[in-house]
Amino acid sequence: MNFLAHIYLSGNDEDLKIGNFIADFVKGRAYNTFDPAIQRGIKLHRAIDHYTDTHPVVSQSKQKLWEKYRHFSGVIVDIYYDHFLAINWSEFSKESLTTYVDEFYSMITSHGDKLPESVNHMMPYMIRKNWLLNYANFEGIEDVMQGMSRRTKHDSKMEQSVEDLKFYYEEFGDEFAEFFPQLETHVSKWILENMD
């Protein structure tokens, strides 16, 4: 799952949300340098990634992309699934996606002292391009994919992946719809089992 799903799955707990959001920028045991409540969010992020990476429905999604994108397939599927979360947002929240995203940007930037330097460096660009809201449209996804493609050392071809999303759109949508409720259940159980 990508940024939007990780944020959403954190519920209303700000520290859990912060930890879950920054986790990809915190390597190995470096999470020990953060407050315990944020550490919990980092651990939740890793639990979500493990569950997602080993789920048969997600593997089915990745398989459609494997021949062309190889190990980048997982990253691409994460963004596809954020797209389906965004366009189906009203099924998951009574709050509009625009309001939710604006509130998140406001919250995360007010906690700049808790964020890794790399996240503080990224945030103005993320907000200016409005990644979280723009996962809902093909142009926004293409912009994100192009940015990731530029940052990879190898020829990832990720900038072409919007065409694959369009080609397999119904299948990816069905796979998201099957997988995401299972992920929500898994996360709810994890949070209960890992309460302070």
pLDDT digits 0-9 by tens, 114-160? 999 999 999 999 999 999 999 999 999 999 898 888 887 778 888 89
pLDDT at residue 82, as a whole number: 97
pLDDT at residue 152, as a whole number: 79
pLDDT at residue 9, as a whole number: 97
What domain range includes position 124?
Answer: 3-193
Residues of the chain with pLDDT under 50: none
pLDDT at residue 155, as a whole number: 80
pLDDT at residue 154, as a whole number: 77
Q: What would the two tokens of residue 149 be? A: 């493609």
pLDDT at residue 150, as a whole number: 84
- If one counts the domains in the chain, the total is 1
pLDDT at residue 196, as a whole number: 64
